[in-house]
Structure 1
Amino acid sequence: MTVVVWITEGTWPACVDAARAHAPQDAEVVLLHVSGPDVPGLAHGAFAGLLGRGHRERDPGDRVERLADASARRLLDAAADRLARPCTRLERSGRTERQVVAAAEGAELLVLARDGDRSRLGPHSMGPATRFVVDHAPCPVLLVWPEPPPGADTLPPPPGPPR
């Protein structure tokens, strides 16, 4: 059995704890982190457009990429330490939601956390990338709250009568 755990800043401890609780001991656990191309791409573009034609060695986008890679490694290391069992660490870059769906292909379970408005129950408790992954995952999904969930009294009101 393969269990993919999507590791993101801010919600990863809940995902790792859920994997520890729900993945069989003999399961292959894959800790997945995806870095989007947006921030380094913006830095590259700003430098090329405004400052650095012909001076590639001064491009701040390269430094931003290195910092993002180091941050991803530290996050995966912390997640692996918390998991406290053998696992595979997988770093990908690209459109986050598509990379997560692709990484989950062939897995028996994908663990991810709500990353939207966590003050109330409802569809806004998931951001766009998480919603995409939940809607398109090629395997069962375990969706966890990164902290205790809000009460049922926070449910949005039912839709009005049809017109």
Structure 2
Amino acid sequence: MTVVVWIAEGTWPACVDAARVHAPQGAELVLLHVNDQDVPGVAHGAFAGLLGRGHRERDPGDQVEHLAAASARQLLDAAAERLARPCTRLERTGRAEREVVSAADGAELLVLARDGDRSRLGPHSLGPATRFVVDHAPCPVLLVWPEPAPGADTLPPPPPHHRR
């Protein structure tokens, strides 16, 4: 059994804890982190377009890429330490939602956390990338709250056309 755990800033501890509880012993655990390609791309583009014609060695996009990779490694190391089980660390770069769906292809479980409005129940508790992953995952999904879930009293009211 392969279990992919999406390691994202701010929500990863809950995902790791859920994997420890729900992944059977002997499961292949994959800790996945995705670096966004857009941030270094913006830095590269700004430098090339405005400042850096002919001076590639001073491109700040390279530094942004190195910092993102170092941060991802630190996050994956912290997640592996918290998991305290054998695991594979996988780092990808690209659109997070597409990379997560791709990495989950062939897995038996994908663990991820809510990353939107976590003050109340409802669809807004999922950010756009997480919503995409939930809608397109090629395997079962374990969706966790990064902190205790809000109470049922935060459930949004039904739409006006469904009220009676």
What TM-score, normalized by structure 1, do the two folds share? 0.98
Correspondence for 1:113: 113
How much has 1:160 moved relative to structure 2? 1.1
Alignment of 1:17-36 (within 5 A): 17-36=17-36
Partner SS state of residue 143, structure 1: strand
How much has 1:161 moved relative to structure 2? 1.7
Distance 1:59 1:138 in 2: 38
Larger CA deviation: 89-98 vs 153-162: 153-162
Runs ≥4 residues deviating over 6 A: none
How much has 1:100 moved relative to structure 2? 0.2
Distance 1:56 1:72 in 2: 25
Aligned-partner residue type, residue 24 of structure 2: P
Distance 1:146 1:67 in 2: 25
Partner SS state of residue 14, structure 2: helix
Alignment of 1:102-141 (within 5 A): 102-141=102-141
How much has 1:44 moved relative to structure 2? 0.4
- Between Structure 1 and Structure 2, how many residues are aligned? 162
Distance 2:131 2:98 in 1: 12
Task: Provide, for residues 72-123 of structure 1, a one-character-per-residue CA deviation record: whole Å limited to 9, x for no partner.
Answer: 0000000000000100000001111000000000000000000000000000
Distance 1:46 1:159 in 2: 45
Distance 2:123 2:24 in 1: 30
How much has 1:126 moved relative to structure 2? 0.4
How much has 1:38 moved relative to structure 2? 1.1
Correspondence for 1:71: 71
Identity score, percent: 86
Task: Provide, for residues 24-47 of structure 1, a one-character-per-residue CA deviation record: whole Å limited to 9, x for no partner.
Answer: 011000000001111101100110
Partner SS state of residue 142, structure 1: strand
Where does structure 1 lack aligned partners over 5 or more consecutive residues? Answer: none
How much has 1:19 moved relative to structure 2? 0.0
Aligned-partner residue type, residue 153 of structure 2: D
Alignment of 1:1-163 (within 5 A): 1-161=1-161
Distance 1:10 1:86 in 2: 23
What TM-score, normalized by structure 2, do the two folds share? 0.98
Partner SS state of residue 139, structure 1: coil
